[in-house]
Amino acid sequence: MSTRVVVATAADENYAIPLAVTVRSLIDSLAPSTQLRLVILDGGISTTSRERLKASWDDPRLEIEWQRPDTRTIAGAPVSGHVSAAAYLRLLLPTILDSDRVIYLDSDMLVRRDVTALWDEPQGDSLIQAVQDLAAPWIDAEVAADRYAERLPLLAAARPVANYRELGLRPEAPYFNSGLMVANLALWREERIAQRVLECLQENSEQVLWWDQYALNVVLADRWRQLDHRWNQGAHIYNYPSWRLSPVGKDAIGPLRREPWIVHFCSPIKPWQDGCRHPFTSAFFETLERTEWRGWRPAPAPELRLQIVKEQRRLLKQKLRWSLRNAVQGLWRKAG
């Protein structure tokens, strides 16, 4: 008996090559009996790239739908650096898809396990299933974790929702990465989740970190189910010197580093950019060789690396500002 899985992803022309690898690896990992309905949210992929993508994914189990969403509702959403409006296209899935459930994947992933197992995870009444973010594991790491002073330099953000108290979020609650979500679209439609996320972005524009992921964590707080970290291995796992300072357990960190089920290339420099040192870069190119971009390699781009360094510095300054703000707020609370 065959299983039909619904998967959606989003990309523009800049992400055509990583998209080719994401979907090729998704197909390569499928069980022979699995049928895949793939929805591509097209944020501006050229006709030439689209034809190359279709040729790269030729497989009888695959049904492809190309969607060019009406982006007027997300036109005012904040963008920065490598993040374009395509990052918000996933919010339009409830209005685009007739399905009540979907696996959403970012287009910078390498799939290494049959997603039928992910599709079979019990959804229950959770709005999404997702993975705790390895770079910012909790709403407030100072409250949620021990050895905070040692952990702080290792985290991308200690409080990814800086104004969580005003929003009524629990400080010890886990914070998820939105690059992989198994979404209950029926409930999203019923509860107007997309609209509420966009409203949250507008109402908290000065606090937003990591674009719609901020708002998704606010709107979906305590309404999501946590998946095994291996379903979305963030590059930040390699930043932790030991399991004791990481958000995962002693027995989990080794398999997560060596045998993730889905690799998320969320490092500042990615495999399709010059100078990437991610441990799964070679696996990325092995998959690329099974696409119409076989033989392609990134050209040296020192100016890109300089741009990435500047973006890292900007994010560091932002993080320091938020840390200072949180520290001042903490002193005020103690004084009161």
Give residue-wise pLDDT tens across range 281-294. Answer: 999 999 999 999 99
pLDDT range class, residue 319, cuts 50, 70, 90: low
pLDDT score at 141: 97
- The contacts of residue 152 (CB under 8 Å, 6+ apart) are 141, 158
Q: Which residue has the higher pLDDT, 110 or 211?
A: 110
pLDDT score at 252: 97
pLDDT score at 69: 82
Percent of the chain residues past pLDDT 90, beyond the cut: 77
Full-model pTM: 0.88
pLDDT range class, residue 316, cuts 50, 70, 90: low
What value does the mean pLDDT take over residues 46-73? 93
pLDDT range class, residue 111, cuts 50, 70, 90: very high
pLDDT score at 89: 86
Q: How far is the C-alpha of 178 from the C-alpha of 215, rounded, in Å?
A: 10
Bin 81: left if φ > 0, else alpha if -120 < ψ < 50, else beta: left
- Cβ–Cβ under 8 Å, residues 26 and 7: yes
pLDDT at 137 over 90: yes
pLDDT score at 125: 95
pLDDT score at 155: 95
pLDDT range class, residue 2, cuts 50, 70, 90: confident
The pair of three-digit structure tokens given for residue 21, joined into one six-digit string: 């690898």
Q: Which residue has the higher pLDDT, 310 or 193?
A: 193
pLDDT score at 323: 57
pLDDT range class, residue 83, cuts 50, 70, 90: low
Residue 114 vs residues 26, 68, 184, 285: alpha-carbon distances, Å: 7, 27, 20, 20
